Copies of this chain bind each other. A is one copy, B any other.
Amino acid sequence: MAIRQTFAENLRRYRLEAGLSQEELAHRAEIDRTYVSALERSVYAASIDMVARLGEELGVTAADLLREEPE
């Protein structure tokens, strides 16, 4: 499940860098706000469609969101 943790950390980091709340991000990506919360807590293994949608709103690629040791 290491990949979930990596994704969770990247998602939260990019979201905060974009200055967005979980709710704002969820609204823009047209997904549920509680699900964003769950993803940042590694509760679920998101689908690649979901990863791409979130990345779009954050201005990064799906690959970026799954990359370890970013930058």
Q: How far is the CB of A11 from chain B (nearest CB, A)?
A: 11
Tell me which residues from 8 to 56 in chain A have a Cβ below 8 Å from any Cβ of chain B: 45-52
Q: Which residue of B lies closest to A1 (CB)?
A: B49
Most-contacted residue by chain B among A7, A46, A62 (CB, 10 A): A62
Candidates B45, B62, B68; contact of A47 at CB < 8 Å: B45
Interfacial residues, chain A to chain B (CB-CB below 8 A): 1-4, 7, 45-52, 61-64, 66-68
Give 21 A-B contacts (CB < 8 Å), ordered by A residue: A3-B51, A3-B52, A4-B48, A4-B49, A7-B48, A45-B47, A45-B48, A45-B50, A46-B47, A46-B48, A47-B47, A47-B48, A48-B48, A48-B66, A51-B66, A61-B66, A63-B63, A63-B64, A63-B66, A63-B67, A66-B66
